[in-house]
Chain A
Amino acid sequence: MFDAEKFIEKTVDQLQEKIKGKALIAFSGGVDSTVCAALVNNAIGDRLIAVHVDTGYMRKNESIDVKKMMEELGLNYRFIDASKEFYASLKNVEDPEEKRKIIGEKFIRLFEKTAKEEGIEYLVQGTIAPDWIESGDELRDTIKSHHNVGGLPEDIAVKLVEPLRDLYKDEVRKVARVLKLPVSERQPFPGPGLAIRIIGEATPKRTEVIREACYIVEKEIENAVKQGIIEKPWQYFAVLIPVKTVGVQGDKRVYGYTIAIRAVQSVDAMTCKYSHIPHEVLDNISIKIANALGNEINRIVYDVTNKPPGTVEWE
């Protein structure tokens, strides 16, 4: 069985051995990168610099919360607001793989810049097993390019350190619990963020719509969990589908986009079942989304696909 305490001990030793100078960690504030940061921080202390990038595709208030957390964890951190740059680089881009690769490259170039300015040699990433498995290699088919693996350009100017490569999310959570990190139960959020929850071009306007929809889904599901109506899903969010359908609002014909609600149960993200969310909860979500986003959205659907054949995220 996976032993989190032994893993921590062994990894901290290895990191001390491996990282001779300064290291930079790509810090999203999720459970993987936070666990990674804590481990490397234990190993090399202040020689670790955490960098959080606000890509503009983060969830509501997320980057502000992450900043707060970096302070609370006592990390030596830098905060980069690159939302304008990210929006510009995804202009007219529709293909999901292209989106992921552009975002992966953008991240790495920003990290390289910081590394160069501050004389940093190592880049620490919270890559876990499904990231490299699904990104593909000489043997394996590419399911999707995870931004931190398949999205990495070939020519990078820093040495990669990925202490969680052999772990799955449930194991990372075990490590997080032993380290008493506040993010241990946080739901996964992909590195490319809301950009891959918008099918087609991820424009700033569509991003605002999906940001609000994801916020509503998260809030309503978390409420239902608190009230004991449902078990907490592995992941729960909204997807914007730029397919227009006809609706009627205030006696007027409208022609707007569609939102899909997605919630799945899983242990390791390698197989998933869609969550059996009761209709009362779906109804609440549907009404709240329609009221908040009525101008843009007039149809809301629930995704009942398992993995396989689907993946968790739509892109």
Chain B
Amino acid sequence: MVRIYVIDNGGQWTHREWRTLRDIDVDTKIFPNTTPFEELDNENIDGLVLSGGAPSVALESKLGNCTEYLEKAYFPILGICAGHQFMAQFFGGEAAPSKVPELGKIELTLLKDDMLFEGVPKKSIVWESHNDEVSVLPKTFEVLGESESCKIQAMRHKEKPFYGLQFHPEVEHTEYGEQIFKNFVNMCKT
């Protein structure tokens, strides 16, 4: 059984991420973001999800031990919402308040083929809940998807298996959310 843990940054949908993983037969647990990397590593995990967070939490310089995870991980990481924004900042990009916050239903447009979006059409409905977003892409990343108001909806590291998503693949109303999680799980298996 592939083992992927969810790091809780205080989002409303952290537990939903856990549930989605469990529903697709992943061995999963929620850990607070204060957990040291060694403790996670000792559990032989295959991947990590960095959850969304309480309002504007990613704009502060620290998000628990997320820095340590991004420094040391040799397995795939999926950052969602605040987790995504923090990932961008960690790698030298920037996050800032959104000009147009997106709440609820939004159309996502994929810009590039990628394993994470296998089986997801070029345009699909995703659900959002954010007041901040990635404003400057880190040099080591590329953009995979955008929406009308937010140009960095999905990004990946050019060399490492690290992904960031501004939208929420874990909620019921995101059309291809479960597919995205399945693709992430497949990456963690290999």
Q: Is A bound to B?
A: yes
A168 interface hit (Cβ, 8 Å) = yes
Contact A134–B12 (Cβ < 8 Å): yes
Q: What 1/0 mask marks residues of chain A from 18 to 39 whose CB sits below 8 Å from any chain B CB?
A: 0000000000000000000000
- Nearest chain B CB to A170's CB is how many angstroms away? 9
8 Å CB contacts to A: which residues of B1-15? 8-15
- Nearest chain B CB to A127's CB is how many angstroms away? 13
Contact B15–A271 (Cβ < 8 Å): no
Interface of B is mostly: mixed
Contact B104–A141 (Cβ < 8 Å): no
B184 interface hit (Cβ, 8 Å) = no
A297–B37 CA distance with the chains assembled, in angstroms: 60
Write out the residue numbers on chain B whose beta carbons fall within 8 Å of the beta carbon of A1.
Answer: 23, 25
B45 interface hit (Cβ, 8 Å) = no
Stretch at the interface among A52-60, A105-113, A216-224, A262-270: A262-270
A310–B51 CA distance with the chains assembled, in angstroms: 21
A306 interface hit (Cβ, 8 Å) = yes
Q: A270-B171, A271-B171, A308-B129 are in contact. Are A139 and B54 (CB under 8 A)?
A: yes
B160 interface hit (Cβ, 8 Å) = no
A134–B54 CA distance with the chains assembled, in angstroms: 11
Q: What 1/0 mask marks residues of chain A from 103 to 138 whose CB sits below 8 Å from any chain B CB?
A: 000000000000000000000000001000110000
The chain B residue sitting closest to A273, CB to CB, is B173
Write out the residue numbers on chain B whose beta carbons fall within 8 Å of the beta carbon of A267.
Answer: 172
Write out the residue numbers on chain B whose beta carbons fall within 8 Å of the beta carbon of A271.
Answer: 104, 127, 171-173
Interface range, A side: 20 to 34
Among A129, A140, A268, A306, the residue within 8 A (CB) of B11 is: A140
A78–B22 CA distance with the chains assembled, in angstroms: 38
Q: A133-B12, A309-B103 are in contact. Are A268 and B172 (CB under 8 A)?
A: yes
A99–B55 CA distance with the chains assembled, in angstroms: 24
Contact A270–B172 (Cβ < 8 Å): yes
B122 interface hit (Cβ, 8 Å) = no
For A143, A168, A270, A306, the residue with the greatest tally of chain B CB atoms inside 10 Å of its CB is A270
Contact A139–B10 (Cβ < 8 Å): yes
The chain A residue sitting closest to B127, CB to CB, is A271
Among A143, A266, A273, the residue within 8 A (CB) of B12 is: A143
A181–B23 CA distance with the chains assembled, in angstroms: 24
B151 interface hit (Cβ, 8 Å) = no
Write out the residue numbers on chain A whose beta carbons fall within 8 Å of the beta carbon of B103.
Answer: 308-309
Among A2, A129, A141, the residue within 8 A (CB) of B55 is: A141
Interface of A is mostly: loop
Q: What 1/0 mask marks residues of chain B from 17 to 42 whose CB sits below 8 Å from any chain A CB?
A: 00100110100000011000000000
Contact A140–B172 (Cβ < 8 Å): no
B105 interface hit (Cβ, 8 Å) = yes
The chain A residue sitting closest to B128, CB to CB, is A308
A108–B176 CA distance with the chains assembled, in angstroms: 42
Write out the residue numbers on chain A whose beta carbons fall within 8 Å of the beta carbon of B54.
Answer: 139-141
Contact B172–A266 (Cβ < 8 Å): yes
Q: What 1/0 mask marks residues of chain B from 162 to 190 whose CB sits below 8 Å from any chain A CB?
A: 00000000011100000000000000000
B157 interface hit (Cβ, 8 Å) = no
Write out the residue numbers on chain B whose beta carbons fall within 8 Å of the beta carbon of A168.
Answer: 19
Contact A139–B9 (Cβ < 8 Å): yes
Write out the residue numbers on chain A whose beta carbons fall within 8 Å of the beta carbon of B104.
Answer: 271, 306-309
A-B contact pairs, 20 of them (CB 8 A): A1-B25, A2-B23, A129-B19, A133-B12, A139-B53, A139-B54, A140-B12, A141-B10, A141-B54, A268-B172, A270-B13, A270-B16, A270-B172, A271-B171, A271-B173, A306-B104, A308-B103, A308-B104, A309-B103, A309-B104
Apart from A139-B53, A267-B172, 20 more pairs, CB < 8 Å: A1-B23, A2-B22, A133-B12, A133-B14, A133-B15, A139-B9, A139-B32, A140-B12, A141-B54, A166-B15, A266-B172, A268-B172, A270-B16, A271-B173, A273-B173, A306-B105, A308-B104, A308-B127, A308-B128, A308-B129
